[in-house]
A and B are shown apart, each in its own frame.
Chain A
Amino acid sequence: MDIDGGVLVADLEAGLGTLSRLEAGPVDAVVVVVEPTAKSIEVATRAIDLAAEQQLGEVIVVVNRVTNEDDEAHVRSALGGREVIAVPDDPEVIAADRAGVGLLDAAPQSPAVAALMTLTDRLAGAAA
């Protein structure tokens, strides 16, 4: 799959099915998205372990819908104390989802976008 120096951002199907079929090489970084719920933390744990096992490059964890410091701390702890990018629970995200419009179009200055841009900066550094 030849993208000639560009960047491919693949939004995978929910779960681990696709991830399990990837080999080291085709993927340079895995962004594991999670929220402060028991179920999503369980899936994230498995995804992180699988990415490590398959040597799928850098793993970055994004925690969505963070309402307070406890949420963030709880998820960090559950995932082995690793660093995470915390995205605040943001009514702008809910509004954009409801309407089916891009978050960057609906609310480019929102706290959620600001947080997600730290993810972008992190990966832009790696892509350069």
Chain B
Amino acid sequence: MTSATQPVSADDPFEDGVSRRLRIAFVGKGGAGKSSIAGTLARLLAAGGEPVVCLDSDPLPGLATSLGIATSDAGIPDEAVEEAPEGERARYRLATGLTSEAAIRRYADTGPDGVRFLQFGKTRGHVAPLMRSQFAFRHIVADIDDTPWHVIGDLPAGTRQPFFGWAGFAHLVLVVAEPAMSSMLSAKRLARLGEGENAPLVAAIANKTRRDDDADLVSQATGLPVWASAPVDPAVREAEHLGVPIIDHAPDSPTVQALRSLLERLHNEERSSP
């Protein structure tokens, strides 16, 4: 494993045929700060020179704002998928010859610090028009281990999508929880993503803490180890009001410090990457 002070080489992401890239999914109750933290972590990685792709599987906008990318409703173009041959289980597959890596290079947006951003699109109500794009997205994500990027994925709030396989790409699931009963209860439910064969590693991030012992409170209530903790912070709150990235608006905040430390830890932690 590379040391915490050296970024993983962008030229050689594979060592002994095994990827050393991060594969992280962010889940949690609504409002806990998933998108904000996912976006900030991705920007930190990218600012350190690492190749990163951010996956947005929420049909509503949020993650792009946290990254500093203009919100767009557009999904992956129709050309990316073709009808699958009859008899196959899925209706669509990626266009012939289109690999996961090629699809990301072609269709992902590029944001500040070179972070790549891929979404299946945003809805103003009806999700049906996004169906082909959703297929493309899921196919791209299914093969994402073959690509050279760190992968940071943000899921919609709650327990529906995580338990429907949308976090399947992840080797590490980070559950963002506030020190409030409903948020911690949600985290406890999401902790079950770590059960079963081939399950990802699951840990918590205690966000918007108000007391020194809130990280412990979250840990006890959720049964999860707390790998980072960030306090309530007026500068972060202001960033959310304005709709600007925390890393740009509040670069010296305890939140950003906590996520820098988390990255150090992740570089050392074997199981967060495959």
Q: Is there a contact between chains A and B in the complex with CB atoms less than 8 Å apart?
A: yes
B71–A42 touching, CB < 8 Å? yes
A97, CB-defined interface residue at 8 Å:
yes
Q: Do the beta carbons of B124 and A38 come within 8 Å of each other?
A: no
Interface contact tally, CB-CB below 8 A: 67
* Size category of the binding interface on chain B: 20 to 34
Q: With A14-B30, A98-B180 given, is the CB distance from A38 to B65 under 8 Å?
A: yes
Contact among B125, B210, B241 for A38, CB-based, below 8 A = B241
With both beta carbons as reference points, the residue of chain A lying nearest to B29 in the complex is identified as A14
Q: Report the minimum CB–CB distance from A47 to chain B (whole Å).
A: 9
Q: Is B189 an interface residue (CB 8 A)?
A: no
Complexed CA–CA distance, A53 and B179 (Å): 38
User: A119 → chain B, closest Cβ, in Å?
Assistant: 20
Q: Give the residues in chain B near A38, CB-CB below 8 Å.
A: 65, 240-243
7 CB contacts below 8 A, A to B, read A14-B157, A17-B127, A37-B240, A39-B240, A49-B125, A98-B180, A99-B181
Whether A49 pairs with B243 at a CB distance below 8 angstroms is: no
Cβ–Cβ < 8 Å partners of A53 in chain B:
125
B59 and A15 contacting across the interface, CB-CB below 8 Å: yes
Q: Is A36 close to B, CB under 8 A?
A: yes
A100 contacts B by Cβ under 8 Å: yes
Contact partner of B125 (CB less than 8 A), chosen from A19, A36, A42, is A19
Sorted nearest first, the 4 A-B pairs with minimum C-beta distance are: A38-B243, A100-B181, A50-B125, A20-B125
In the complex the two chains form, is A39's CB within 8 Å of B62's CB?
A: yes
